[in-house]
Chains A and B, each alone.
Chain A
Amino acid sequence: MIPHDETMILETPFYSRCLAACEINLWEDWKGYRSAAAYTSVEQEYFAVRSNTGVFDISPMIKYRFTGPDAEAYLNRLVTRDISKLGIDRVAYTVWCDDNGQVMDDGTIFHLGENDYRLCAYARCLDWLMWSAEGFDVTIVDETAEIAALAVQGPTSCSVFKNMGFTGIENLKPFGINRYPFEGSEVMISRTGFTGDLGYEIWVDPALAETFWDRLFEAGKLWGIRAIGSAALDMLRTETGFLQAGVDFIPAEEAIRTGRSRSPFELGLGWLVSFDKPVFNGRKALLKEKKEGSRYAFVYLDVEGNKPAEHAFIYAGSKEVGTVTTAAWCPTAKTNVAFAQVDAQYGKVGQELVAEIYYERELKWTRVMAKCTVIEGAVFNPPRKRQTPAPDF
């Protein structure tokens, strides 16, 4: 339910707890909700996820529920990935495109039961979802405010849940879903996340949100649990190679200028496109692109030196061939990484490029032309992310 009042900014179901934990009062607006950018120190929050457990309130994430006899068929038509292969209690990362094969958004689909799915997205897209539903017997509900959710991420996260009494959680495979009784209701736990580490997301009735938070932090005490904000999360997702909608690509429906949207191939997400499916939104355009070639390539760059290549132009020789969308020094991988969009022919692994980096020291600006190499993918990819049973730390 969206309250009808004059509140400027909404509070998540965990807000009281976030507020208490947020010592430095650094807040931001996430789709209309007050969301912590940092609680105590960005560095310590980042490292909580790499060494212990970090908790990020993902309640504001846009969530849609699909039910009805055609739910599966409908979703399979909507997204590029083959959803018919997604088992019950499994989760899949996917993108969905407009008819021009341009990415509208990326997100995760949760297969909750027979013809019962949840889609988590960055952007609101109910209008598009309804439009695409013509001819399908499917009910679509925006349940963003109906579900409280937390990302519980880091090497000790499994131990924390075991200590909370969630027996067998260590056997949950990546992208799997378990359910546990909780305070007379139920909590759903998926082994998913945006940090590239061992980690889980929990989904619970908003009425139980505060209780869940309290129990979680009590159980996590001995495992270094800590609330983390969006600033730390951004470092984590960069290190592990995850794209951020609105940063690394412009959702097709939001793009105003011609040519600013991107196809899945142009975002390095071709592996999400299943041409085996006879029909899905954007298929025709994507087939054409596959045959005739893409305009751009999305690349991960290993950048020489220690200056983050933020907003840098990318050159091949003296020719400008692209720009950086995300860049950071990665504190765990100890590597200077950048995501960039470049002209398609420069996207091959091993390609040597140059980033034009500007940085300032005490009012003096310096330009470096830093050598970069196109690398395969994420610079942080620990075994514990995949291991089942999940390790204790």
Chain B
Amino acid sequence: MTNKYDAIIIGAGHNGLTNGAYLAKAGLNVLVLEKNSYIGGATVSRELYTDWKYSNCSYVCSLLRPEIIRDLELPRHGLQVVPYGGGVTFKENGDYFGNHADHERLLREVARHSKRDASAYERYEADVMKQTRLIRPFLMRTPPDPTSLKPRDLKELAVLAKSFGSMGEEGLADTIRFWTMSIGDFLDEYFESDVIKSHLAGSGIIGTALGVYSPGTAYVLLHHYMGDVDGSVGAWGFARGGMGSVAAALSASFQSFGGTIQCDAEVDQIIIKNGKAKGVALANGNELYADIVVSNLDPKRTFLKIMDEGDLPSDVVTKAKNFKIRGSSGKLNIALDGLPTFTGLPKDSPLCLGEKHFIDSLPRMERAYDDWKAGTWSKDPYVDMLIPTQIDPTMAPPGKHMMSVFVQYAPPKVNGEDWTAEDKAGFEKTVIDQISNYSPDFKDLILHCETRTPKDIEDEVGLTEGNIFMGELTFDQLLFNRPFPGYAQYRGPVKGMYMCSSGSHPGGGVMAAPGANAAREILMDLKLNNTVPGGYDDD
């Protein structure tokens, strides 16, 4: 077996595999290394209970770039994304808000809570759509360096300026406010109904160690709205077979171009010689060589764990240490003996296909954040719960179900100490009790539950503090500042070393854009033909 490749990619998550696919497509001999015995990173499906497949980490799909899905022929390699509609936020008083997929039906439901909000909803939708329209064209582009005078950077800056300019003076002011304000303040400008605000606010805090009234959370909402399923912007879907089928299809595509994947191969160190990347040293002592080394690990792990401080400029070490990647969420994956019922909601309601939340006001959500700040998990958490087996027959036996419960907030350490088994049980109980309050038969249907704290996610997947976005999505860490100023074009501080993870532009959420954008830069440096497609145009 050879130990010399053209390029070595560290981490077989979706971005590593995407990066590898485009490099291999350009003719390079590419090796992807994975520390676990299975690929996928956080896009993974695992059978931890016989006949049940869990999407252990990421659980829904919208941001995965359609350009990449099509170009790498992922459907032919087995990927099928099935959209779901609906969604419910249950109220403490026994009522609920149903987020219907049908527009007019939704407005009627909003009006049930507030007639005025039903009218404001259309203004809200248009305003959010203006913002998605601004950001979407930049997902498949490398951010310009605003300090550079290179023709390419100047050209890209001009593209950026033109897009912002097209918003108009008022639009520009709105945009700057939107990118910096809190989701709570933003929603307060549209709605009066608590339950509607709380239903929408969830997208502003998911995966983020901020509260609904923390500045910067409005953008996080945008991050959840800017994807699409078949052109329906803001729609979300399930990957049939679980999120692991994203990684499986990418891996099949990568291998169809001649790429190699090696599992159980944890990288200990990136080998640097004379200021150039030369390969990697594995934890088992083996060394593998390549002039291109791409890290799909988050910026902290990349620069502080598998690179030597002495090989790096000191500003990079400092910036990596300061990089904001705080753990704020946990997850429960549950095997169910049947479909649970929810108080007040007919079992066959189309609302049931979507996500369910059990927190009905912004103050309650803010209190959930207060618990996190105080060093513990939220006692009354925001959960994003889905039962994909209602439309995906492949993840559990007929009539049985798989429930995915994303939980916000959960701290990386409990009161400054490592999570104990007792803490974990307490966290699990908090979540199950909250759901049970709205579903009397839920507890009796539980066959198995996998509970994952931020620590568990870090240990298994390798995301620092279990941060699902590989770094928070706040303006100080976005676009040409992601992961840090001066390093947003996927090139590392050492020649031949690159970054392709969600820690780079445009961030996390299973987009595969960082992997593809990084490949385009690498191929440009190698003076090879670009294999990466451009982005689709919304207009």
CB nearest to B238 among chain A residues:
A51
**Cβ contact within 8 Å between A331 and B102:** no
Q: A40-B350, A334-B70 are in contact. Are A222 and B82 (CB under 8 A)?
A: no
**Chain B neighbourhood of A43, CB < 8 A:** 83, 85, 232
Q: Complex: how many Å from CA A41 to CA B85?
A: 10
Cβ proximity bits A8-45 to B, threshold 8 Å, 1 near / 0 not: 00000000000000000000000000000000110110
Report the minimal beta-carbon distance from B21 to chain A, rounded to whole angstroms: 15
Q: Complex: how many Å from CA A306 to CA B68?
A: 13
Report the minimal beta-carbon distance from B537 to chain A, rounded to whole angstroms: 7
**Cβ contact within 8 Å between A329 and B393:** no
Residues 148-191 of A at the B interface (beta carbon under 8 Å): 155-156, 159
Report the minimal beta-carbon distance from A102 to chain B, rounded to whole angstroms: 36
Q: Complex: how many Å from CA A52 to CA B394?
A: 10
Report the minimal beta-carbon distance from A17 to chain B, rounded to whole angstroms: 16
CB nearest to A160 among chain B residues:
B398
Q: Complex: how many Å from CA A361 to CA B539?
A: 7
Residues 497-539 of B at the A interface (beta carbon under 8 Å): 536-537, 539
**Cβ contact within 8 Å between A47 and B390:** no
CB nearest to B235 among chain A residues:
A43
**Chain A neighbourhood of B85, CB < 8 A:** 41, 43-44
CB nearest to B400 among chain A residues:
A222
Report the minimal beta-carbon distance from A83 to chain B, rounded to whole angstroms: 34
Judge whether A335 is part of the interface by a CB distance below 8 angstroms.
yes
Report the minimal beta-carbon distance from A27 to chain B, rounded to whole angstroms: 18
Residue among B74, B101, B232, B391 making CB contact with A334, cutoff 8 Å: B74
How many inter-chain contacts with C-beta < 8 Å in the A-B complex? Answer: 62
**Cβ contact within 8 Å between A334 and B231:** no
Judge whether A393 is part of the interface by a CB distance below 8 angstroms.
yes
**Cβ contact within 8 Å between A224 and B393:** yes
Q: Complex: how many Å from CA A186 to CA B135?
A: 59
Report the minimal beta-carbon distance from A358 to chain B, rounded to whole angstroms: 14
Judge whether A351 is part of the interface by a CB distance below 8 angstroms.
no
Judge whether B315 is part of the interface by a CB distance below 8 angstroms.
no
Q: A40-B350, A334-B75, A361-B539 are in contact. Are A329 and B398 (CB under 8 A)?
A: no
Q: A305-B536, A334-B66, A334-B75 are in contact. Are A52 and B391 (CB under 8 A)?
A: yes
**Chain A neighbourhood of B394, CB < 8 A:** 393
Judge whether A258 is part of the interface by a CB distance below 8 angstroms.
no
Cβ proximity bits B381-394 to A, threshold 8 Å, 1 near / 0 not: 00000000011111
Q: A305-B537, A334-B66, A393-B393 are in contact. Are A41 and B82 (CB under 8 A)?
A: no
The tally of residues in B whose CB lies under 8 Å from a CB in A reads 29
Report the minimal beta-carbon distance from A359 to chain B, rounded to whole angstroms: 9
Judge whether B69 is part of the interface by a CB distance below 8 angstroms.
yes
Residues 219-246 of A at the B interface (beta carbon under 8 Å): 222-224
Report the minimal beta-carbon distance from B148 to chain A, rounded to whole angstroms: 30
Residue among B101, B391, B539 making CB contact with A41, cutoff 8 Å: B101
Most buried by A among B80, B83, B350, B399: B80
**Cβ contact within 8 Å between B82 and A329:** no
**Chain B neighbourhood of A50, CB < 8 A:** 80, 82
CB nearest to B80 among chain A residues:
A332
Judge whether B240 is part of the interface by a CB distance below 8 angstroms.
yes
Cβ proximity bits A319-346 to B, threshold 8 Å, 1 near / 0 not: 0000000000101111100000000000
Judge whether A366 is part of the interface by a CB distance below 8 angstroms.
yes
Q: Complex: how many Å from CA A159 to CA B398?
A: 10
**Cβ contact within 8 Å between A51 and B101:** no
Cβ proximity bits B164-182 to A, threshold 8 Å, 1 near / 0 not: 0000000000000000000
Cβ proximity bits B61-97 to A, threshold 8 Å, 1 near / 0 not: 0000010011000111000111101000000000000
Residue among A51, A331, A333, A366 making CB contact with B392, cutoff 8 Å: A51
**Cβ contact within 8 Å between A47 and B393:** no
**Chain A neighbourhood of B230, CB < 8 A:** 329, 331, 334
Report the minimal beta-carbon distance from B425 to chain A, rounded to whole angstroms: 33
Q: Complex: how many Å from CA A224 to CA B240?
A: 14
Q: Complex: how many Å from CA A16 to CA B536?
A: 45
**Cβ contact within 8 Å between B391 and A47:** yes
Q: Complex: how many Å from CA A131 to CA B266?
A: 77
CB nearest to A364 among chain B residues:
B539
Q: Complex: how many Å from CA A306 to CA B70?
A: 10
CB nearest to B68 among chain A residues:
A334
Q: Complex: how many Å from CA A50 to CA B241?
A: 13
Cβ proximity bits A274-316 to B, threshold 8 Å, 1 near / 0 not: 0000000000000000000000000000000110000000000
Residue among A51, A159, A306, A393 making CB contact with B82, cutoff 8 Å: A51
Report the minimal beta-carbon distance from A40 to chain B, rounded to whole angstroms: 7
**Chain B neighbourhood of A223, CB < 8 A:** 393, 398
Report the minimal beta-carbon distance from B375 to chain A, rounded to whole angstroms: 43
Residue among B70, B83, B398, B536 making CB contact with A222, cutoff 8 Å: B398
Residues 386-419 of B at the A interface (beta carbon under 8 Å): 390-394, 398-399
**Chain B neighbourhood of A44, CB < 8 A:** 85, 350
**Cβ contact within 8 Å between B240 and A51:** yes
**Cβ contact within 8 Å between A51 and B75:** no
Residue among A51, A159, A224, A306 making CB contact with B536, cutoff 8 Å: A306
Q: Complex: how many Å from CA A47 to CA B81?
A: 9
**Chain B neighbourhood of A305, CB < 8 A:** 536-537
**Cβ contact within 8 Å between A51 and B539:** no
Residue among B70, B83, B393 making CB contact with A156, cutoff 8 Å: B393
Report the minimal beta-carbon distance from B51 to chain A, rounded to whole angstroms: 12
**Chain B neighbourhood of A366, CB < 8 A:** 539
Q: Complex: how many Å from CA A47 to CA B80?
A: 10
Report the minimal beta-carbon distance from A156 to chain B, rounded to whole angstroms: 5
Q: Complex: how many Å from CA A331 to CA B394?
A: 19
**Chain A neighbourhood of B350, CB < 8 A:** 40-41, 44
**Chain A neighbourhood of B82, CB < 8 A:** 47, 50-51
Most buried by A among B69, B74, B230: B230
**Cβ contact within 8 Å between B398 and A306:** no
Q: Complex: how many Å from CA A331 to CA B75?
A: 10
CB nearest to B533 among chain A residues:
A304
Residue among A159, A224, A335 making CB contact with B391, cutoff 8 Å: A224
Report the minimal beta-carbon distance from A105 to chain B, rounded to whole angstroms: 32
Q: Complex: how many Å from CA A335 to CA B399?
A: 33
Q: Complex: how many Å from CA A52 to CA B82?
A: 11
Report the minimal beta-carbon distance from A121 to chain B, rounded to whole angstroms: 32
Q: A40-B350, A335-B70 are in contact. Are A51 and B80 (CB under 8 A)?
A: yes
**Chain A neighbourhood of B392, CB < 8 A:** 51
Q: Complex: how many Å from CA A155 to CA B394?
A: 10
Q: Complex: how many Å from CA A335 to CA B66?
A: 9
**Cβ contact within 8 Å between A41 and B70:** no
**Chain A neighbourhood of B399, CB < 8 A:** 222
Report the minimal beta-carbon distance from B100 to chain A, rounded to whole angstroms: 10
Residue among B75, B232, B390, B539 making CB contact with A332, cutoff 8 Å: B75
Report the minimal beta-carbon distance from B312 to chain A, rounded to whole angstroms: 40
Residues 317-361 of B at the A interface (beta carbon under 8 Å): 350
Q: Complex: how many Å from CA A44 to CA B74?
A: 21
List 26 A-B residue pairs with CB atoms under 8 Å apart, sorted by A's residue number.
A43-B83, A43-B232, A47-B82, A47-B391, A50-B80, A51-B80, A51-B82, A155-B393, A156-B393, A159-B393, A159-B398, A222-B399, A224-B391, A224-B393, A305-B537, A306-B231, A306-B537, A329-B231, A331-B230, A334-B66, A334-B69, A334-B74, A335-B70, A335-B75, A393-B393, A393-B394
The 7 closest A-B pairs by CB, nearest first: A222-B398, A393-B393, A306-B536, A222-B399, A331-B230, A334-B69, A334-B70
Which residues does A use to contact B, with CB under 8 Å? Answer: 40-41, 43-44, 47, 50-52, 155-156, 159, 222-224, 305-306, 329, 331-335, 361, 366, 380, 393
Which residues does B use to contact A, with CB under 8 Å? Answer: 66, 69-70, 74-76, 80-83, 85, 101-102, 229-232, 240, 350, 390-394, 398-399, 536-537, 539
Beyond A40-B350, A43-B232, A223-B398, 10 extra complex contacts between A and B, CB < 8 Å: A41-B85, A43-B83, A47-B83, A51-B240, A51-B392, A52-B393, A332-B75, A334-B70, A366-B539, A380-B75
